[in-house]
A and B are shown apart, each in its own frame.
Chain A
Amino acid sequence: MRLIMGVVVALALASAGVAAQQASAPDLGVLAPTNLSKPRPAAPFTVTGTWFIDLGFPGSWRFGPPYPKLTPDAQKHFDAAQKARAEGKVYRDDIGQCWPAGVPLIMTRVWSVSMVQLPTVVYMISGFMNSLRVINMDGRPHTDPDLVVRTFNGDSIGRWEGATLVIDTTGFIDHHHWIDNGIPASDQLHIVERVKLVGPNGTKMQIEYTMTDSKSWEGEWKMTKQWNRVDARDMEIAEVECLPDLNSHIPSTQSKENVR
């Protein structure tokens, strides 16, 4: 009898343990050791390193022209930006006023971007304002639309398709967030980035962008950008913040030529 009771208790405890594991597994963070150590296929490459936008690559740091066919609302902003440009002015330079650049523009600022790749996550930190991107690679879906906190860099999940890292990002904020001068990003913005390493010894990284945003343009807006790996110490990222009192010393951010 005592033996039977012992077996029952042991089974109950084991069952409870499994149940607890099953219940907690979906909640594991990307840095949880048990999440990091799960068996996974080896990553085809690592983006770990510091990267700098290749300004000599076609299209350089900007996402247009060419531009897609804009919606009427977006076209109003674009026309106002073009008018400002023709007058030697600049339209809604929110980045100059310390608003985050946001994805995709944060990727092509003329600053280094440091990346750290782990089996469950890729962290990207731009040297420009230390803007952080978190790309969850542990198989989770996008955050529930009813729960997501909309941000300038969005809600990113990544997966491997052969030798390509595919990053899918939604959950963007539509507040002071621009794709290019006069082209607003809305809460419908959806970006797919297909990341590949190219060049000798993987010293160049290319990302093919496919962007849709039904509130701002029609169809897919596609382009490819390229980065160079920069290994020198003086290309590392550092703490960089946009501060109101700093801007008071930067006269062009205070210029009357800024159209708000």
Chain B
Amino acid sequence: MRFQRFQKFQWFLVVAMAMAAPAFAHHAAAGIDRTKSVTLAGTVKAFGWQNPHSWMEVEVPNEAGVVTTWKVEMTSPAFLIRAGWKATTLKPGDKVTVKVFPLRDGDPGGLFQSVTLADGSTLTERAAAPRPAAQ
């Protein structure tokens, strides 16, 4: 029992720490401005379920109707699965609202924070709660 508690805590620590620094896994994140958050209301153009990073492209119209494609980088599928994602969670044509930390250089891209789907549900990259330890 005591060892199981240790395992649970250990797993939680692993995931919590990994989620705190996912961007370091593949590349530096200096190009991302984490002091700002941008909300994108648009349509999914593509969703990549890939290692080491998943990604999505979202077509976002402005008030004049001009559409800009935003590139959004995400963490790896292993972490997304723990947060409730599937490879089929997003499909081209889905209406979504996505929050991102934007690029500093002003290009239309950023680091994923959350997505709200057409059914009103919201997904992030964080697991809702630590999962029980493997037996």
Contact residues on B (Cβ < 8 Å of other chain), bracket: 35 or more
Contact partner of A250 (CB less than 8 A), chosen from B13, B27, B82, B105, is B27
A220 to B48, CA, bound (A): 44
Chain A-chain B contacts (Cβ-Cβ < 8 Å), number:
135
Residues of chain B within 8 A of A84, CB atoms compared: 30
Q: Given A255-B105, A257-B30, are A232 and B133 neighbors across the interface (CB < 8 Å)?
A: yes
- Tell me how far the C-beta of B130 lies from the nearest C-beta in chain A, rounded to whole angstroms: 11
Q: Which residues does A use to contact B, with CB under 8 Å? A: 52, 54-56, 61, 84-85, 88-90, 93, 95-97, 109-111, 128-129, 181, 200-201, 203, 228, 230-235, 238-242, 246, 249-258
Most interface-central of A55, A233, A241 (chain B CB within 10 A): A55
B103 pairs with A93, CB closer than 8 A: no
The interface residues of chain B, by DSSP majority, are classed as mixed
- 5 closest A-B pairs by CB: A96-B27, A251-B109, A255-B31, A55-B17, A90-B30
Residue of A nearest to B54 (CB): A249
B53 proximal to A (CB < 8 A):
yes
Do A250 and B51 contact each other (CB < 8 Å), given the known contacts A55-B17, A55-B21, A56-B13? no
Q: A55-B21, A252-B73 are in contact. Are A230 and B11 (CB under 8 A)?
A: yes
Tell me, yes or no, whether B4 is within 8 Å of chain A by CB: no
How far, in angstroms, from A239 to B50 measured CA to CA in the complex?
Answer: 10
Question: Which B residues have a C-beta under 8 Å from some C-beta of A?
Answer: 3, 6-7, 10-11, 13-14, 17-18, 20-32, 46, 48, 50-53, 55, 57, 71-73, 76, 78, 81-82, 103-105, 107, 109-111, 133-134
- Some 24 contacts from A to B, beta carbons below 8 A apart, are A52-B14, A55-B17, A55-B18, A55-B21, A85-B30, A88-B104, A95-B26, A110-B17, A110-B22, A111-B52, A128-B25, A203-B6, A203-B10, A228-B10, A230-B10, A235-B78, A246-B53, A249-B57, A251-B31, A251-B107, A251-B109, A252-B31, A255-B103, A257-B31
Shortest beta-carbon distance, A206 to chain B, in Å?
A: 15
- A111–B22 CA distance with the chains assembled, in angstroms: 9
Partner of A56 from the list B17, B31, B111 (CB cut-off 8 Å) is B17
Q: Is the CB of A110 within 8 A of B81?
A: no
From B17, B76, B133, name the one whose CB has the most chain A CB atoms within 10 angstroms. Answer: B17
Nearest-Cβ distance from residue B133 to partner chain A, whole angstroms: 7
How far is the CB of A199 from the nearest CB of chain B, in Å? 9
Q: Do residues A246 and B6 form an inter-chain contact, with CB atoms below 8 A? A: no
